[in-house]
């Protein structure tokens, strides 16, 4: 399984992904699921992937080969984030159909993507591209999108993430959401990747890696547990506790 999330706040974008892949519990590997595509000063994209690893790898290769070969459309020619999402949906479904055409069993080749980015002159946007190639975007009322094992890390996002949260606190919230998921579900695992993109910067942004023994990640997890205990202590007491 996988857990990836993307947050869109007024100050920019935050993306976070785990790196665990598994084909059964006895076949576990580490693969990055975060793919930045940056043309400094002009356009910034980052792709997050979940699902069949052969599909997601083939999609990323196709995105790169389309750019290298000057195929139209590619990520340098699309004029809006929606066009980029549309392009990704076409590439993803083409790859899935190709792999399915060679299938000797009834394999699940599906993959789901989050595409976040900004094209110069436009606002940052985040799209989630379904295995069917269609897509949805986030909104002011729901300024984040998740793929993979989404439930464990959703309550903290539901309570905290709004457009006016600053970029670094939103990034800390993303790390907490990821950390809680890793603690509760074995199929999501480190290293964790974090991308912090400041709106209108049109550069890769801060791209951070946190391995299992990373001191920052460990301190974050410990401080978060401490903070939760303090938050619990401050909750209203039952009436009989005041007697």
Q: Is 228 in the site for a second copy (CB under 8 A)?
A: yes
- Identified binder of a second copy from the candidate list 61, 97, 211, 223, rule CB under 8 A: 223
Q: Is 70 in the site for a second copy (CB under 8 A)?
A: no
Measured from the Cβ of residue 186, the count of other Cβ atoms closer than 10 Å reads: 12
Q: Is 186 in the site for a second copy (CB under 8 A)?
A: no
- Give the separation between CA 200 and CA 214, rounded to whole angstroms: 30
- Smallest distance, a second copy to C-beta of residue 139, A: 17
> How do the residues of the chain divide into helix, strand and coil, expressed in percent and rounded to 5?
35, 30, 35
Task: Say which DSSP state 121 is in.
Answer: T
Q: Is 102 in the site for a second copy (CB under 8 A)?
A: no
- Identified binder of a second copy from the candidate list 153, 189, 190, 205, rule CB under 8 A: 153
Helix axes 167-184 and 215-233, enclosed angle (nearest 10): 90
CB-nearer residue toward a second copy: 29 or 184: 184
- Give the separation between CA 10 and CA 8, rounded to whole angstroms: 7
Question: H/E element holding 28?
Answer: strand 28-30
Question: H/E element holding 96?
Answer: helix 81-101
- Identified binder of a second copy from the candidate list 132, 134, 184, 201, rule CB under 8 A: 184
Q: Is 230 in the site for a second copy (CB under 8 A)?
A: yes
Mark the segment that binds a second copy (CB under 8 A) among 29-37, 101-109, 127-135, 172-180.
172-180
- Give the separation between CA 235 and CA 222, rounded to whole angstroms: 21
- Identified binder of a second copy from the candidate list 39, 130, 209, 224, rule CB under 8 A: 224
- Identified binder of a second copy from the candidate list 40, 65, 97, 183, rule CB under 8 A: 183
Q: Is 242 in the site for a second copy (CB under 8 A)?
A: no
The CA distances from residue 10 to 65, 98, 123, in Å, are 33, 40, 10
Q: Is 1 in the site for a second copy (CB under 8 A)?
A: no
Residues lying near a second copy in the complex (CB under 8 A) are found at 151-156, 158-160, 168-169, 171-173, 176, 180-181, 183-185, 196, 206, 208, 216, 219-220, 223-238, 240-241
């Amino acid at each position: 399984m996988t857990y990836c999330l993307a947050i869109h706040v007024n100050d920019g974008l935050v993306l976070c992904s785990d790196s665990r892949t598994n084909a059964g519990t006895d076949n576990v590997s580490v693969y990055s699921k975060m793919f930045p595509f940056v043309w400094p000063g002009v356009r910034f994209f980052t792709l997050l992937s979940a699902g069949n690893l052969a599909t997601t790898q083939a999609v990323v290769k196709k995105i790169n080969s389309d750019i290298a070969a000057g195929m139209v459309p590619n990520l340098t020619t699309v004029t809006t984030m929606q066009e980029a999402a549309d392009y990704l949906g076409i590439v993803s479904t083409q790859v899935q159909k190709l792999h399915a055409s060679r299938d000797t069993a009834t394999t699940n080749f599906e993959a789901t993507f989050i595409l976040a980015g900004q094209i110069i002159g436009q606002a940052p946007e985040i799209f989630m591209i379904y295995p069917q190639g269609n897509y949805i975007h986030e909104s002011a009322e729901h300024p984040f999108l998740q793929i993979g094992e989404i439930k464990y890390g959703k309550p903290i996002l539901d309570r905290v993430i709004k457009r006016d949260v600053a970029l670094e606190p939103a990034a800390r919230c993303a790390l907490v959401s990821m950390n809680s998921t890793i603690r509760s579900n074995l199929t999501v695992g480190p290293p964790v990747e974090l991308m912090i993109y400041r709106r209108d910067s049109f550069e890769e942004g801060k791209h951070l890696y946190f391995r299992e023994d990373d001191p920052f990640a460990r301190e974050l997890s410990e401080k978060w547990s401490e903070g939760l205990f303090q938050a619990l202590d401050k909750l209203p007491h039952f009436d009989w506790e005041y007697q």
